[in-house]
């Protein structure tokens, strides 16, 4: 039995959902400790309370928004800068936890603190996320405007860490790799046990997942759809006509997802993959200036499983999408989406040939070079 630390970003629910799938596949064979921030911490700490899986809070990267579905780039950079300025303190705290846990492997899902602590402590570390496709993929075939967005986002992703033992990318699509990254491991989207067990059927309602804010045009189009719309992400509110605003509840959301006719959402990798696995066509609205989602939306369209709306959603556009749902549903190849087995096999292969631990007689288990590395931390 190995001792594994899994750290993740808390922005959105996709990172926590991916971690959940890994934990459920590995618990019982390995001891797992999770580090998470924000909504990922809230979700996982409640889920694994009073179990053998430990969930610890860590500071994390966050997006700033200045309107419905619009990322505030300057605000996001400011939040990242604040995290960087406090990085030495965060890494030092994480090192104390690693010295206590004594992990054999650290897995990082778009989270920068534990990789730095692992480097100092001499613990092998693996990158396992979706965002690194921006670094490792050959995206030269993308339209020029989209290729430029990907080029802008890639340095930020690369700055999180670049010393991982292996890079594993989880995605509902797999573009070709750059020559320098041919050893990257591609796996499909990670499915929670409940998704794997779900019995999908085609009902009449729509599921909408909209984070934080909804544009009035989006709500207007949903209201005019003539369908019951079950909306998650905006919190519980009084119903408005056929629109029901529901609190986040994993079981209720999955039940609605498995029985809906189609999904309207942002273009996050995890939900797109889960919906495709359940045979649900998607209309995605990538958040403005969220370059990762812009590329996701493009590949969803290329797969034939859905449409992307990059301006304001109109009633006519939504009606046309609903009319196209039967055709889109036939194009979905469910068997190609799930990456659970491949991901677990790839992660467990990294447990072999573990380097020796640092000397135990140094403070917090750190050699002198490790303490210097904390002081000399940089983002690149």
For residue 277, give the CATH number of its domain.
Answer: 3.40.50.2000
207 and 185 assigned to the same domain: no
pLDDT score recorded for residue 100: 95
Number of domains into which the chain is organized: 2
188 and 199 assigned to the same domain: no
Strand partners, 288: 70
Helix 368-375 to helix 113-121 angle (10° resolution) is 150
pLDDT score recorded for residue 60: 62
For residue 15, name the pLDDT band (cuts at 50, 70, 90).
confident
The number of helices, as runs of H, and strands, as runs of E, in the chain is 15, 16
Rounded mean pLDDT, 90-95: 89
What sign does the dihedral 139-144-145-148 (CA atoms) show? positive
302 and 347 assigned to the same domain: no
pLDDT score recorded for residue 74: 58
DSSP letters along 12-61, please? SSHHHHHHHHHHHHHBTTBEEEEEE-HHHHHHHHHHTTTSSSEEEE----
199 and 261 assigned to the same domain: yes
| Distance separating alpha carbons of residues 193 and 250, to the nearest angstrom | 12
161 and 181 assigned to the same domain: yes
28 and 173 assigned to the same domain: yes
Q: By the 8 A CB rule, do 351 and 104 touch?
A: yes
Per-residue pLDDT reduced to its tens digit, 136-184: 999 999 999 999 988 888 988 888 888 999 999 999 999 999 999 999 9
Rounded mean pLDDT, 264-286: 95
Least confident of 144-153, 217-226, 254-263: 144-153
26 and 152 assigned to the same domain: yes
pLDDT score recorded for residue 357: 41
179 and 263 assigned to the same domain: no
Residue 317 φ then ψ, to 5°: -65, -45
Does the predicted model carry a pTM greater than 0.85?
A: no
173 and 206 assigned to the same domain: no
Per-residue pLDDT reduced to its tens digit, 203-214: 999 999 987 677
Question: Rounded to 5 degrees, what angle do the CA atoms 237, 240, 241 make?
Answer: 150
Domain span at 212: 193-336
177 and 123 assigned to the same domain: yes
Q: By the 8 A CB rule, do 95 and 120 touch?
A: yes
Per-residue pLDDT reduced to its tens digit, 351-360: 875 443 433 3
pLDDT score recorded for residue 225: 95
């Amino acid at each position: 039995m190995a001792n594994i630390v899994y750290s993740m970003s808390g922005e959105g629910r996709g990172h926590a959902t991916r971690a959940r799938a890994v934990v459920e596949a590995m618990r019982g064979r390995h001891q797992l400790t999770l580090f998470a921030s924000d909504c990922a911490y809230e979700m996982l700490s409640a889920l694994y309370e009073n179990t053998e899986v430990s969930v610890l809070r860590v500071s994390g990267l966050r997006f700033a928004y200045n309107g419905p579905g619009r990322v505030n780039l300057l605000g996001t950079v400011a939040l990242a800068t604040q995290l960087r300025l406090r990085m030495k303190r965060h890494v030092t705290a994480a090192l104390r936890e690693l010295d206590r846990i004594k992990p054999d492997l650290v897995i990082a899902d778009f989270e920068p603190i534990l990789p730095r602590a692992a480097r100092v402590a001499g613990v092998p570390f693996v990158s396992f996320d979706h965002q690194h496709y921006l670094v490792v993929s050959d995206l030269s075939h993308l339209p020029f405007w989209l290729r430029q967005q990907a080029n802008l986002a890639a340095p930020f992703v690369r700055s999180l860490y670049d010393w991982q033992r292996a890079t594993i990318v989880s995605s509902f699509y797999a573009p070709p790799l750059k020559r320098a990254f041919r050893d990257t491991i591609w796996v499909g989207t990670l499915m929670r046990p409940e998704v794997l067990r779900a019995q999908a059927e085609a009902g009449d309602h729509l599921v909408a997942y909209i984070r934080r804010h909804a544009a009035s045009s989006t709500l207007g189009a949903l209201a005019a759809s003539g369908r019951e719309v079950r909306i998650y992400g905006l919190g519980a509110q009084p119903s408005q006509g056929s629109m029901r605003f529901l609190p986040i509840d994993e079981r209720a959301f999955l039940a609605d997802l498995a029985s809906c006719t189609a999904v309207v959402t942002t273009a996050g990798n995890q939900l797109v993959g889960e919906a495709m696995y359940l045979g649900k066509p998607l209309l995605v609205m990538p958040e403005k200036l969220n370059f990762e989602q812009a590329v996701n939306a493009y590949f969803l369209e290329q797969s034939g499983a859905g449409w992307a709306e990059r301006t304001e959603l109109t009633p006519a556009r939504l009606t046309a999408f609903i009319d196209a749902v039967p055709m889109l549903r036939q194009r979905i190849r469910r068997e190609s989406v799930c990456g659970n087995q491949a991901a677990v096999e790839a992660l467990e292969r990294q447990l072999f040939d573990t380097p020796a631990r640092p000397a135990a007689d140094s403070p917090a288990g750190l050699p002198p070079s490790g303490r210097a590395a904390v002081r000399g931390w940089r983002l690149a």
